[in-house]
Structure 1
Amino acid sequence: MSASRRVSLFRSAIMKRSLPVSDEQMFRSTRRVTVRTISTRTTIVSTTTRKKRKVEVTSETTTVNTEVGGSSTVSKASADALEALEKDTLHESWYKALAPEFSKPYFQELKKFIISEHKQYTIYPPYQDVYSWSRLTPLDTVKAVVIGQDPYHDVGQAHGLAFSVLPPTKIPPSLRNIYKQIKTDVPSFTIPTSGDLRPLAKQGVLWLNTCLTVRAHQANSHSGKGWETFTSSVLRAVTSRENGRGVVVFAWGIPAQKTCEKVAIDEERHLVLKSAHPSPLSAHRGFLGNGHFNKANDWLRKQYGDGEEIDWTVLNK
């Protein structure tokens, strides 16, 4: 299928799913909270990095936002758009590393499940953001991995990075505890008013959920469907790179630690930092006070050299 055809299918899918798209960022959706009908000019920019070309499609449309909990029917075009999701939205480096997964039976079944879910329910994050982590943190830039669980499941929260939310969404409790621990480790850090973690992603921090989609308002609704196998392959792609320097893996909570065990991370080569999850239910049982952000930077300086640590204060800028 040609790039222009895939873009056309994505446009159709997004219009039918009532997701207005801005041209600020590739496939970045503009979130709506109220139910209303508006007239908008929609521009979709698709970059197919492997062919190094850009295709632009512009059209006038009237969009009805179905908001929270609404269900809608996904057309054949929407299903085709989901089939093309990896080609169109994974960064080239990740697509190359993960391509063997796409033809495996588990991944084919996963895609069938996601298409079926989209026919009946609202799914987060939007199509275009499922793999946003790959575009913000290309494979060869990864220095640290933060393992999350599944995406936030309320309207306007999930955008493809574990723990992260975009303005004006309120900072979730787990992320607030992460900020508290960064502040403890890095006194110059000022707790931000935003939950946007993209600046850290651009420094090489991969914010990776083990499950990449979720049904609206139903936590863990897409667990056990195949995402965990896929994201284990993502983590394996990171830890098997032959750059000789290794990465830091933040494994907060039992599920994250089980993921590390499944991947069999070589702890002689990589630094795996384990503690309780930052959720308010467990943060005081070992997350707060774990010193992980200092430990990570000390290790990165040793492995990568001075000045190669993560600047956590970038969130203040």
Structure 2
Amino acid sequence: MPTSPNRWEHSLPRALPAAWAHAAQRDMSDQLAALGKRLDEREEPIVPEPERVFRALSVDPDRVRVVIIGQDPYPNPSHASGLAFSIPRGVSPLPPSAKNIRTELHSDLGLPVGQHLDLDSWAQQGVLLLNRHLTTAAGQPAAHTDLGWSEITNWLIDRVVDASPQAVAILWGRHARRLAGRMGPLGVIESAHPSPLSAHRGFFGSQPFSRANALLSERGVSAIDWRLH
């Protein structure tokens, strides 16, 4: 089902939160409009909704303590929330990647994980949950990898490096790990993606949460409370 004419083209530049937009050059607004135009031309349902695309950016760039980079939104519309890897509370069953994150969280820190993977409490502490590509087609993983999102997220990551050089980056999966060289002074933790296709090849046992807190401590930054509140 096609989107309404110019829906994305008009909404994307306006949706960039003020704390990020003030640093954007004119060409960034033009890039967002051009990307939105390409989305408007797609004859498919798109996730997440336009108003959720930049939800991860509720964390101001100078408040980022940890940035977790994913690949693209969950293709299931009920799962895609605008926060990388997060699932809205009350949605079940959880997708396999979410289950694997919960498993590693418990294994790493011994925390009770309850029944959900709503990561709002992480975002509220300065965890930037950013996908490499911020939209996809409903039911089609990685459908928008060629639309220009990489240039946008490169710019967002550069803002984090400039504004929060003491932060730590957690890079899960091949697409995220390509960004290691872009992280400058940030502490970097890399592993396989939590997808069931790769979790047993380096995600399980990688201890990203305890390692991130150790790096934050070394940098004089308070630890993240990784509990799923």
**Secondary structure at 1:312 match in 2:** coil
Indicate yes or no: 2:130 matched with 1:173: no
* Alignment-derived partner of residue 211 in structure 1: 133
- Residues 173/301 of structure 1: CA separation in 2 closer, same or farther (3 Å cut): same
Q: Which residue of 1 aligns with 2:161?
A: 239
- 1:82–1:127 contact (8 Å) kept in structure 2: no
Query: Cα distance, 1:159 vs. partner?
Result: 1.4
Q: Deviations over 1:103-123 (max 9, x none)?
A: 45x544312101212xx2211
Structure 1 distance, partners of 2:3, 2:48, is 17
Aligned to 1:287: 203
Distance 1:129 1:174 in 2: 20
The alpha carbon displacement at 1:85 in A equals 3.2
Residue in 2 aligned with 1:299? 215
- For 1:126 and 1:107, the matched residues in 2 are separated by 15
* Post-superposition CA distance 1:67-87 (Å, at most 9, x none): xxxx15514xxx256414332
Relative to the length of structure 1, the TM-score reads 0.67
Corresponding letter in the other structure for 2:4: V
Q: 1:248 aligns with which of 168, 182, 201?
A: 168
Match of 2:24 among 98, 110, 114: 98
- Tell me, which stretches of 5 or more residues in structure 2 are unaligned? none
Structure with more of its chain in strand, by fraction: 1
In structure 1, C-alpha distance between the alignment counterparts of 2:28 and 2:155, rounded to whole Å: 11
**Counterpart contact for 1:142–1:238, Cα < 8 Å:** yes
Q: Secondary structure at the match of 2:219?
A: helix
How far has the Cα of 1:97 moved from its partner? 2.5
1:139 pairs with one of 54, 61, 64: 61
SS at match of 1:304: coil
Q: Verify: 1:185 aligned to 2:88, yes or no.
A: no
Q: CA deviation at 1:128?
A: 0.8
- The structure having more radius of gyration, on CA atoms, is 1
Residues 128, 108 of structure 1: alpha-carbon distance in 2 compared, 3 angstrom cutoff? closer
The one-letter code of the counterpart of 1:98 is A
> What secondary structure sits across from 1:240 in the alignment?
helix
RMSD: 1.8
Letter in 2 for 1:265: M
- Over 3 Å counting, the alpha-carbon distance change for 1:192 and 1:72 in structure 2 is same
Residue 124 (str. 1) matches residue 33 (str. 2): no
Establish whether residue 112 from structure 1 lines up as the match of residue 37 from structure 2. Answer: yes
Percent identity (aligned): 34
Structure 1: segments with no counterpart, 5+ residues: 1-70
Greater RCO structure (CA 8 Å; 6+ sep): 2
Note the C-alpha offset of 1:98: 3.0
Query: Displacement of 1:165 after TM fit?
Result: 1.2
Q: Kindly provide the CA deviation profile for residues 123-167 of structure 1, in whole angstroms up to 9, marking residues without a partner as x.
A: 1001110111112x1212101111111111123111111111103
2:4: which partner in 1? 74
Letter in 1 for 2:74: Y
Tell me if the contact between 1:90 and 1:132 (Cα under 8 Å) persists in the aligned partners: no
Of 10, 21, 33, the residue aligned with 1:83 is 10
Deviations, residues 173-194 of structure 1 (Å, cap 9, x unaligned): 112111211212212x111311
Q: 1:164 to 1:73 in 2, by over 3 A?
A: closer
Matched, 1:259 2:184: no
Q: After superposition, where does 1:29-44 map in structure 2 within 5 Å?
A: none
Aligned length: 228
**Is 1:309 aligned with 2:229?**
no
Deviation at 1:226, TM superposition (A): 0.5
Q: 2:101 and 2:3 mapped to 1: Cα distance?
A: 38
